[in-house]
Amino acid sequence: MPIIKFFKRTEVIAVGCAIVTSLAISLFLNRQQPQIVSVDVMKILNAQRAAVPGILQGEDNTIAILRVGKQIMPVIREVAGQRTLVVIAQALVDPDVPDITGRVLRRLGLPDDAPTLNLTDNFLNAPRTNAELSNQSWDVFQQKQADETEARLKQAQRERAAEALP
């Protein structure tokens, strides 16, 4: 009697292991590797900066940038598709990875040929990133900002002094 129970348990365990193994193999074979695509974030940001002044006349550029900027990530996700790993193009080593930047720009309605360094003073008076500037040009930029702030303060003091005169 104990031998029969032993074989019944062994058969149940063997059948259970076979089922689990077959499920694991089928899941492993059916599992797709995620696709890898790249996107050039700097190109998208430059296109955004170039297009924002023309999007809505009279709208503050900062508000327009924020409004357009909120659309970037959802559009990248949509263009990339499911089970896709999006890598920033500047961090990519493999040249064979497809680039979706053009499709993202078209979906956002942004220009493909936006200038990289031609930024207008009334639109963006700060450098794009600290890393893009040498220490010397960053110091010059900071000094220029400090001089402009000091000039504004002096102008405000002169206006207050003029108002105080009888």
Per-residue pLDDT of the chain (166 residues), as tens digits, is 455 555 556 676 777 777 777 767 766 666 667 788 888 888 888 887 777 665 555 556 666 666 677 888 888 889 988 888 888 877 777 778 888 888 988 888 887 877 654 444 444 555 455 555 555 566 777 788 888 888 888 888 888 788 877 6
Question: In which region does residue 108 sit, left (phi positive, over 0), alpha (psi from -120 to 50) or beta (all else)?
Answer: alpha
DSSP conformation letters of 50-92: HHHHHHSTTS-HHHHHHHHHHHHHHHHHHHH-TTEEEEEGGG-
* DSSP run (H or E) holding 13: helix 2-30
User: 14 and 70 in one domain?
Assistant: no
E strands, 90-166, are none
**HSE (side-chain half, CA atoms, 13 Å) at 82:** 1
User: 98 and 47 in one domain?
Assistant: yes
What was the pLDDT predicted at 120?
43
pTM, rounded to two decimals: 0.48
Domain count, the chain: 3
What was the pLDDT predicted at 136?
58
What was the pLDDT predicted at 117?
47
User: 72 and 6 in one domain?
Assistant: no
User: 155 and 132 in one domain?
Assistant: yes
d(CA 55, CA 46): 14
User: 112 and 38 in one domain?
Assistant: yes
User: 109 and 53 in one domain?
Assistant: yes
CATH code, domain carrying 74 = 3.30.910
User: 47 and 77 in one domain?
Assistant: yes
User: 38 and 96 in one domain?
Assistant: yes
Domain that includes residue 133, residue range: 126-166
